[in-house]
Structure 1
């Protein structure tokens, strides 16, 4: 099984350096173009399904990708929604990260809980699409920390509209690409 994680395309809040989290902010035109570019990153592989987070920025990105790959859009999995940043949603990202460099933001969903939630979502995807290659459109924080947990591979940042692919070998996961760049 291969999973290709795509971070949704850009939103105005991404552009303006604001924390989105679980706020349902739509794609902007740059984000739509990034989604179309992601299709090109996926073109060399064979895909069986495209699924996503239920947030509109991920769902629209997934629809653009599914259309580009000639696949129907699969379900939205609530477990793939971005981390809930609580009262910090809408705050300046750079400033917030500088103030809390360990990402232990007050009132935010704990990172371990975010990863556990995503792993439950991936287990559901595996049940729905056993041994198939699935494109999973979701969000930066949930992708970054889940990829680190699954593979042990360091990940600094996940860029909008890029593909980070992993492949399962037995019970282990191996990183193929991060932000569209081959690894290894």
Structure 2
């Protein structure tokens, strides 16, 4: 990969949850189990593109799990971008022995404070997510990066980064975050809706038509 970098103190991330899988539809606890997209999920991946196409993006990265990788490949193809990395730290939370369970009494019996018996903790997941974003900021300063990953990872990472309960993350919707090397993370779009800290449109002028990285 070759690149021309326009140095900027901010790196911009579109955090996108993958499209639907059959386990999502059945309300099975999915976690790190590698389940592919279903037909609805593949359609959702394509429907993520119009919101993303409002801005210029430099490249795409994703979790290596197939549902995220498939979603990333659809988005990248539609936007004429490259998927440059599958990042292990972006995998979904490992729910251990509860993966595959349906909502109900059996799953409820496995609950413990902060999650489920044998599962990866939310702080551990948030630490992985933040490490991945910080590494991307260091490796590609000033870039605009589409990151396709998982709902719980996005939720707990943003909650930790922003000290804000962001709630659940919808499939294939835009979550727009900027990381400034001095001031940290700022949230501008959540689940496709402008956040209350959303600046005026002129704040995003540098996101359209001015590449910080040329691949």
TM category, shorter:
over 0.9
Report the counterpart of residue 48 of structure 1 in structure 2. Answer: 58
Q: Mark the runs of 5 or more structure 2 residues left unpaired by the alignment.
A: 1-10, 197-215
| Partner residue, 2:129 | 118
More divergent stretch after superposition (7-16 vs 97-106): 97-106
State the Cα RMSD in Å. 1.7
TM superposition shift of 1:68: 1.3
CA contact (8 A) 1:97 1:103 kept: no
Counterparts of 2:72 and 2:128, CA distance in 1:
20
- Of structures 1 and 2, the larger Rg is shown by 2
1:20-54: CA deviation from partner (whole Å, max 9, x where unpaired): 10000000111111111111111111111110000
1:104 aligns with 2:112: no
- For structure 1, which runs of at least 5 residues remain unmatched after alignment? none
Alignment length (residue pairs): 184
Given the alignment, which residue of 173, 185, 188 partners 1:162? 173
- TM-score, normalization: structure 1? 0.93
Residue 34 of structure 2 is matched in structure 1 by 24
Q: 1:14 and 2:29 equivalent? A: no
Q: Distance in 1 between matches of 2:27 and 2:109?
A: 13
Match of 2:186 among 158, 174, 180: 174
What's the CA shift for 1:103?
A: 3.7
